[in-house]
Amino acid sequence: MKDVIVIGAGISGLTCAQQLKQAGLDVSIVEKSAGVGGRMATRRLQGTWVDHGAQLISVKSDDFGRFIRKLEDKKIVKEWTRNVYQLSSSGLRPPEADNRHPRYCCPLGMTAIAKHMASELNIINNNRIVGVSHDNRKWQLISDRQEILETSAIVSTIPAPQFLPLFEEVLSTAPNFLQAVQSVKFAPSVTIMAGYSNSYDIPEEWQAIQCVDDPILSWISHDSSKHSDRSAQPVFVFQSTAEFARQSMEEADLEVAGKPLLNQAGRLLAPWLASPEWWQVHRWRYALSEESLGVSCLSTAVPLALVCAGDWCAGKNIEAAYNSGLAAADSVIDLLKN
């Protein structure tokens, strides 16, 4: 039996598991996918890396700053830009002076951070949890392989809407905890990854763009500028608004779901953006929480030690997820002591 099982190998789960291992606990991560990183997601396309989830890393807290500096020393991350431009129907404008601060990227894609963190952890991949039960002293997790995993404590870092079907019944004796998780709503997103001819001149201002008050687009970035020495052609990433994604989430034809983003980029920036040489679509059903809970993590000792963590607890970015993972580790250690 494990001391702790962490569900989800995103940055919250990986951070938490690292801290627990350093504290001497026997911990495993269970991950439904073949890889790690969660929404720190990268695809290998046309000989290059393309980030189709989280786009950049910014730093505010000291703990996270030290973490990023260590990754910088190992050349896993580097500063990408200090300018995120604003795009509206009236055109492109530079950021305000107080919003010019370092944004970091990974030359080998955002999943490089997760792979580095996972290298010394016990991770059970391709293992989806489909059921949860408990007795007086331990949790039992049932996987889609019909394996039963036993543990004294659970840390769940999966999105709240995926957590609830598994845990609602067993948390009937912890109504306040359950109500907090039930209050979390997630927004979807559609992401386009698109490659273009080398014949186009790409302004430096297009490196990172936040779209303002647009019904379709929320983000545009020149993704291949993160690793220009390794890219054979310009590659862009376009991300949709939640409103657009909700309308197209069930569309069976991915081209129909994604083409409006390309067309809108063509209208707002340059017509050629609407006609890439190749493009792929990825849909995120749970991209970001609409409003985070404003707490570092959620914990309960009833019926047994259980902690929820992730960016939906503490905020909406990688730093918030990292800090939530740290807090979750402290919380589960305290629960196991009592």
Distances in whole angstroms, Cα of residue 307 to Cα of each of 155, 277, 303:
5, 46, 12
Q: Both 133 and 220 in a single domain? A: no
Are 328 and 12 in contact by the 8 Å Cβ rule? The answer is yes
Percent of the chain with pLDDT over 90: 93
DSSP string, 157-224: -S-HHHHHHHHTTTTTT-HHHHHHHHT--EEEEEEEEEE--TTS---GGGSEEEE-S-SSEEEEEEGG
Q: Both 153 and 166 in a single domain? A: yes
Q: Both 79 and 195 in a single domain? A: yes
Count of domains for the chain: 2
Q: Both 89 and 215 in a single domain? A: yes
Q: Which domain holds residue 235?
A: 55-109+186-289
Domain harbouring 153, CATH code: 3.50.50.60
Query: How far is residue 164's CA from residue 134's CA, in Å, rounded to a whole number?
Result: 16
Is residue 49, in this structure, part of any structural domain at all? no
Residue 88 dihedral angles phi and psi, to the nearest 5°: -135, -175
Per-residue model confidence (pLDDT) at position 226: 96
Q: Both 27 and 135 in a single domain? A: yes
Per-residue model confidence (pLDDT) at position 139: 98
From first to last of its 338 residues, the chain has per-residue pLDDT tens of: 999 999 999 999 999 999 999 999 999 999 999 999 999 999 999 888 999 999 999 999 999 999 999 999 999 999 999 999 999 989 999 999 999 999 999 999 999 999 999 999 999 999 999 999 999 999 999 999 999 999 999 999 999 999 999 999 999 999 999 999 999 999 999 999 999 999 999 999 999 999 999 999 999 999 999 998 878 899 999 999 999 999 999 899 988 999 999 999 999 999 999 999 999 999 999 999 998 899 999 999 999 999 999 999 988 899 999 999 999 999 999 999 98
Domain harbouring 68, CATH code: 3.90.660.10
Q: Both 179 and 198 in a single domain? A: no
Q: Both 210 and 178 in a single domain? A: no
The model's pTM: 0.96
Per-residue model confidence (pLDDT) at position 47: 87
Residue 299's H or E segment, with its range, is strand 298-300
The model's pLDDT over 139-184, given as tens digits with 9 standing for 90+, comes to 999 999 999 999 999 999 999 999 999 999 999 999 999 999 999 9
Per-residue model confidence (pLDDT) at position 149: 97
- CB count within 10 Å of CB 172 equals 10
Q: How far is CA 319 from the centre of its chain?
A: 10
Q: Both 210 and 230 in a single domain? A: yes
Query: How far is residue 206's CA from residue 229's CA, in Å, rounded to a whole number?
Result: 18
Per-residue model confidence (pLDDT) at position 338: 80
In sequence order, which ranges of 74-183 are alpha helices (DSSP H)? 111-118, 160-167, 175-182
Q: Both 193 and 264 in a single domain? A: yes
